[in-house]
Each structure stands twice: as C-alpha cells, then as structure tokens.
Amino acid sequence: MNRTTGKLKKRHLPAGAVLLVQLAAALLLLCACAGGIHTPPGETVAGPEEPGLPAGNELPTESEPPAEDGPAGDDPAPEAPPEYAIDCLVLVDETHPLPDGWEDEIRLEQFTNAVGDEVRVEKTAYAAYLDLKEALAARGVYVDLDSAFRSVAEQQAIVDEFTEKYGPAYAEAYVAEPGTSEHHTGLALDLFLIVDDRIVYENEDLMEYPGIWAEIHAILPDYGFILRYPGGNGYPYEPWHIRYVGPDAAGEMAERGLTLEEYLAAAP
C-alpha cells in the first residue's frame, strides 16, 4: 500500500477541453466500461471518433455519404474533439506497462482522506467507490482510500520507502516497479478500515480482519470492482487492493471465478 505522504503534483486537463463535450464524454465512458470494451495491452486507448478536424472545415452531417478517399486515414471529420473514453479492462503489470498517453487521457477526482492525505482516483472508479462505501457503511463496515492513482515518480518513492522500511525482498514482493503498477491507471484502489472508530491502516494490521474483508469482497462486483490480488495469480494476497473493471466484467469474473488475466485471456 502507499504509505507516502508526499505532495502530489497537480495535473491539468488539456486547454482545449470544453464543457460541451463533457456530457458526451461521460456517456461514452459509461458505455466503454459497461460494455466491456477493452484494448489489448500496449495499444493506444482512443475514443470512438477520430480527432484532428482541421480548423475551418465544415462538419459532415449524418446523412452525408462516406468520404471516397479510401483507407488512407481521411475519415469523415468528427463532430467534437476527442472524447474521454478509458479502457476499464486495461492490464498493467510487470510485462504490460502503462499504455502510452494514459496519464494524459485520464480524468481524476481528488479528495482528502481520513488521515489527511490527498487521494486521486479515476472519475468513474471514484463514483463507483462512493457507492460501494455507502453500501458498506449501511452494513456497519467503514472504509476509506489509502491511495489510488500514482504517477511513475510516486511509485519510485514507494519502492524507496518500502526498501528502507521493510527491506528489498518485501519491497520487491509487494511494490510494483515504477511504470508497471496498476495504480498508474487510477482504477486500482487501496482501502483501509475504520474499526470501532479506530483507523486501521498498516498492512499487517489490516490482515487482522479477515471477516471484514470477506464482507467487503462479497459486494465488490455489484459496484464494478474485483479483488485484484486474491493470491495465486502471481501476487501475494492483498485484501485491500481492489480494481475497477465496470459492473458487467466484474459480475462475469465473479460468476465464473476468473482473475482479470483469465478473463482477458478468455475474451474473444
């Protein structure tokens, strides 16, 4: 888990981002996540429309015939700038580094958690997390987020910190190499617990509550999350690390007992 309290660099959206496209972008994002669309690792994630309308061109209407320029890339001009549509099923691990441009595309929500750290989460995953948190609270289970999105530089700081605190073997086992952490996606969330009004934060302490984790894990798919490292898929068991994949994929993975790797391998 991320124990760093270092200040996070503020990210800015492209200057060209305009309000007009935000609703459409949100809808497209929902579609991309709910529909289980995913991009093979390493490919650039792109919206459903091609960017690059030259200034001054007329926008084509829906009824216009297709351009006759052939497949050389002169697709019909888009009706809007590039949309925000992320791949909720992106696989990032030791052999699948973060796709190019991901950090430029991602839109993050930021909040301050119960221990005073600034936490950033991909916006769709954050909305789903808030629903999950509310549902858990209704059951008397209280969670908060330790960390979610991390830049490559922040991941390096965690490697250094864990190496110093626990030794290189532990750091190697529990902390991903910078550039290969799922946390770079903004879709991976590390939870901590509040038990009897007491914050339970350190890894070794969190392991002391298997019953609470079981309650949490049982409803993750309802909110589009999976337990990413259940043990046995090449990583140590991490009850706190959950991953947003969207409700459809999460439900299918839960139903069929698949890890993300197995689910992607089985996809057509």
Close Cβ partners of 168 (under 8 Å, ≥ 6 residues apart): none
Does the footprint of Zn ion cover residue 120 (CB under 5 A)? Answer: no
Beta bridge partners of 237: none
The residue at minimum Cβ distance from Zn ion is 241
Minimum CB distance to Zn ion smaller for 84 or for 225: 225
Applying the rule CB under 5 A, the residues between 69 and 98 that interact with Zn ion are: none
Close Cβ partners of 193 (under 8 Å, ≥ 6 residues apart): 141, 142, 143, 144, 199, 200, 206, 209, 212
Tell the smallest beta-carbon distance from residue 44 to Zn ion (Å): 25
| Interaxial angle between packed helices 20-34 and 123-138, expressed in degrees from 0 to 180 and rounded to the nearest 10 | 60
Tell the smallest beta-carbon distance from residue 238 to Zn ion (Å): 6
Record the tokens describing residue 167, joined without a space.
Answer: 């030794």
Tell the smallest beta-carbon distance from residue 143 to Zn ion (Å): 14
Determine contact, residues 141/216, Cβ cutoff 8 Å. yes
Applying the rule CB under 5 A, the residues between 7 and 26 that interact with Zn ion are: none
Please give the size of the binding site for Zn ion, defined by CB under 5 A: 2
Task: Examine the residue annotation and report whether 161 is marked as an active-site residue of this protein.
Answer: no
Applying the rule CB under 5 A, the residues between 174 and 213 that interact with Zn ion are: 190
Minimum CB distance to Zn ion smaller for 120 or for 241: 241
Q: How many angstroms separate the Cα of 42 from the Cα of each of 97, 100, 155?
A: 7, 7, 20
Closest CA to 108 of 158, 149, 60: 149
Minimum CB distance to Zn ion smaller for 85 or for 108: 108
Tell the smallest beta-carbon distance from residue 186 to Zn ion (Å): 12
Minimum CB distance to Zn ion smaller for 184 or for 241: 241
Give SS3 for 206: helix
Close Cβ partners of 232 (under 8 Å, ≥ 6 residues apart): none
Minimum CB distance to Zn ion smaller for 84 or for 244: 244
Does the footprint of Zn ion cover residue 243 (CB under 5 A)? Answer: no
- Catalytic pick among 238, 255, 261, 262: 238
Does the footprint of Zn ion cover residue 241 (CB under 5 A)? Answer: yes
Tell the smallest beta-carbon distance from residue 202 to Zn ion (Å): 14
Other CB atoms within a 10 A radius of the CB of residue 184 amount to 25
Question: Which sequence positions are flagged as catalytic?
Answer: 238
Instruction: Give the interface with Zn ion as residue ranges (CB under 5 A).
Output: 190, 241
